[in-house]
């Protein structure tokens, strides 16, 4: 019976592991050479990045449209189709049946799509979602970029969020586009779409920021399709989006100035994302800052919590920020964001949201690929291996990596140029929502019996400070279940201060090696300040 029980437990654990959705497993980077329909070269072509929980493998293939701004995979992580802003391509890298003329009417559509097979202007505004309750239907949401009569000659706006419906099982798995370019929202929009699972574990919330003010279109995707968009607005003051834009054409500088209209250039080159637990929605707007919201997965309501001003460039503090990105750690604790030239971390703990500040992780090392292309920081994406990958705001062959994003400060192990790709990649890195988040247990909308296999635990109280294992003969771990950091002091049986940790971060397991400590009892005290410590007894044995 004992062996049978162990086998059943192992079987259940393995079944749970492999039954997790892997819709974000396959990424596509790269783009073809300038001559359309020609075989790829050593420098130009497509790359699959196929992830598991340990990393990824790179596989090269001939690609005839790019850069790729949206990818659809099935639950097992197998590629279904991808999108380059102009056409929908099937898994054979052919234009899908009825998959042409997507986003027709966009700026430079004829030039970019007809001659170069790619519309690269939308970096974070395209999204693929499976339709709940319909295994064969997938919705592709995509933005359109146009000139309008109320924009300057140098300016454009994102004027539509469109929907294209794909039947992925048609044509023996090669797919077919059923409807395309259907208007979901007609408005000035921001290049920063994001989605999160509804608290019922089945439907999806889609959030699309407007191009001005602090306003957001929210759309529910259910088995009935896309529900009518609902606009949520927040009162002023709004951050200063209307900066004057200028850039150097040459050195010594010849300066070109562009005076933006009310849409400005702020609707481009930013990002938005939900925390993996679905409780926070954050967005970053270039030349401005980061906004943090609470999000209710049952109602879709957002509560504005904090605005963080983006730091200016170090070398050129007067120049506007040209691109920026953000991501949130897998444990939903740490928000990472960049201003193109530096990476920052902000602790999303409740105690820190009101008055805490962000910290600098690292500045860009000024490395240029091929001695020309900047490897500065741009889009940031969570990957299935638990790491965060960052692509540059330029054409390069490199990705930066945050190896341990669940750790505080420098312990997150940020590595610049950590991945060298075999081919060039351009600006875009695919966005996927968290497919492994399901119901919101205990909520009023948890009514469908769809249970989250890995529910997020709520924060514990400080009184539950843990010291384990206890007794210990090798390593003891401290766990502080509240957000604030503490100092830890340890006394031996003689009352002498034996060991001290001036900083232990909250909501993390902090290891201490006790293998060389004398055997016997110790007193462990954790201080938020110098008063009222929480005290535990520790026994070191051999």
pLDDT band at 15 (very low <50, low <70, confident <90, very high): very low
Using one digit for the tens of pLDDT, what is the confidence trace for 265-281? Answer: 567 778 999 999 999 99
CA atoms within 13 A on the CB side of 73: 22
pLDDT band at 383 (very low <50, low <70, confident <90, very high): very high
Calculate mean pLDDT across residues 474-478: 92
Calculate mean pLDDT across residues 427-453: 92
> For the purposes of burial, counting CB atoms within 10 Å of the CB of 34, is it exposed (0-12), middle (13-18) or buried (19 or more)?
exposed
Residue with tokens 């390069």: 396
Of 123-132, 246-255, 383-392, 502-511, the least confident: 246-255
Question: Of 194, 341, 218, 202, whose CA–CA distance to 280 is shortest?
Answer: 194
User: Cβ neighbours of residue 262 under 8 Å, at least 6 residues apart?
Assistant: 212, 242
Cα 326-328-334 angle, rounded to 5 deg = 110
Tokens representing 466 are: 């843990």
**391, pLDDT greater than 70:** yes
**Structure pTM?**
0.85
pLDDT band at 341 (very low <50, low <70, confident <90, very high): very high
Cα separation, 104 vs 85, whole angstroms? 9
Calculate mean pLDDT across residues 507-523: 91
Would you state the pLDDT for residue 10? 38
Using one digit for the tens of pLDDT, what is the confidence trace for 179-234? Answer: 999 999 999 899 999 999 999 999 999 999 998 889 999 999 999 999 999 999 99
Q: Mean pLDDT across the chain, nearest whole number?
A: 87
CA atoms within 13 A on the CB side of 458: 4
Q: What structural domains does the chain harbor?
A: 23-426 (2.130.10), 462-540 (2.60.40.3080)
Using one digit for the tens of pLDDT, what is the confidence trace for 88-106? Answer: 999 999 999 999 999 988 8
The three-state secondary structure class of 203 is coil
Would you state the pLDDT for residue 527? 87
Question: Of 494, 445, 498, whose CA–CA distance to 278 is shortest?
Answer: 445
Percent of the residues in the chain that have a pLDDT greater than 90, as a whole number: 62
Would you state the pLDDT for residue 427? 84
Higher pLDDT, 534 or 110: 534
Residue with tokens 């027709």: 104
**Residues 47, 59: contact at Cβ < 8 Å?**
yes
């Amino acid at each position: 019976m004992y062996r049978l029980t162990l086998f059943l437990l192992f079987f259940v654990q393995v079944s749970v592991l492999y039954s997790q959705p892997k819709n974000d497993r396959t990424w596509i980077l790269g783009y073809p050479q300038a001559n359309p329909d020609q075989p790829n070269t050593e420098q130009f072509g497509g790359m699959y990045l196929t992830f598991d929980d340990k990393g990824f493998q790179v596989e090269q293939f001939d690609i005839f449209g790019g850069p790729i701004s949206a990818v659809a995979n099935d639950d097992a992580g197998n590629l279904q189709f991808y999108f380059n802003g102009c056409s929908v391509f099937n898994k054979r890298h052919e234009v899908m049946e009825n998959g042409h003329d997507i986003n027709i009417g966009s700026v430079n559509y004829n030039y970019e799509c007809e001659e170069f097979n790619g519309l690269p202007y939308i970096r974070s505004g395209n999204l693929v979602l499976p339709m709940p309750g319909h295994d064969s239907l997938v919705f592709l949401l995509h933005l359109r970029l146009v000139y309008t009569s109320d924009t300057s000659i140098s300016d454009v706006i994102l004027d539509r969020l469109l929907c294209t419906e794909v039947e992925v099982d048609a044509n023996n798995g090669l797919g077919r586009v059923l409807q395309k370019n259907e208007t979901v929202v007609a408005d000035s929009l921001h290049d920063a779409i994001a989605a999160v699972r509804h608290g019922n574990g089945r439907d999806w919330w889609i959030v699309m920021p407007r191009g001005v003010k602090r306003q957001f279109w929210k759309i529910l995707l259910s088995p009935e399709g896309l529900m009518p968009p609902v606009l949520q607005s927040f009162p002023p003051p709004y951050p200063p989006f209307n900066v004057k834009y200028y850039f150097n054409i040459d050195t010594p500088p010849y300066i070109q100035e562009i005076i933006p209209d009310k849409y400005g250039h702020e609707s481009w080159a930013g990002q938005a994302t939900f925390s993996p637990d679905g409780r926070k929605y954050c967005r970053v707007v270039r030349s401005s800052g980061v906004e943090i919201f609470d999000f209710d997965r049952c109602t879709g309501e957002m509560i504005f919590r904090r605005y963080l001003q983006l730091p200016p460039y170090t070398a050129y503090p007067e120049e506007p920020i040209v691109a920026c990105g953000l991501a949130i750690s897998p444990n939903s604790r740490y928000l990472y964001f960049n201003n193109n030239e530096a990476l920052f971390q902000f602790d999303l703990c409740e105690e820190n949201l009101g008055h805490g500040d962000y910290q600098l992780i690292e500045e860009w090392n000024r490395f240029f690929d091929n001695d020309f292309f900047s490897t500065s920081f741009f889009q940031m994406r969570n990957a299935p291996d638990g790491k965060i990958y960052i692509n540059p705001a330029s054409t390069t062959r490199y990705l930066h990596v945050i190896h341990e994003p669940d750790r505080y400060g420098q312990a997150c192990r940020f590595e610049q140029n950590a991945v060298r790709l075999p081919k060039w990649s351009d600006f875009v890195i695919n966005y996927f929502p968290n497919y492994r988040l399901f119901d919101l247990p205990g909520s009023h909308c948890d009514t469908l019996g769809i249970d989250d296999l890995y529910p997020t635990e709520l924060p514990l109280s400080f009184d539950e400070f843990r010291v384990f294992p206890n007794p210990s003969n090798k390593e003891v771990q401290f766990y502080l279940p509240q957000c604030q950091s503490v100092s830890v002091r340890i006394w031996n049986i003689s009352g002498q201060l034996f060991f001290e940790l001036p900083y232990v971060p909250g909501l993390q397991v902090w290891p201490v090696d006790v293998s060389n400590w004398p055997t016997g009892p110790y007193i462990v005290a954790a201080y938020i300040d110098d008063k009222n410590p929480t005290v535990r007894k520790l026994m070191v044995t051999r």
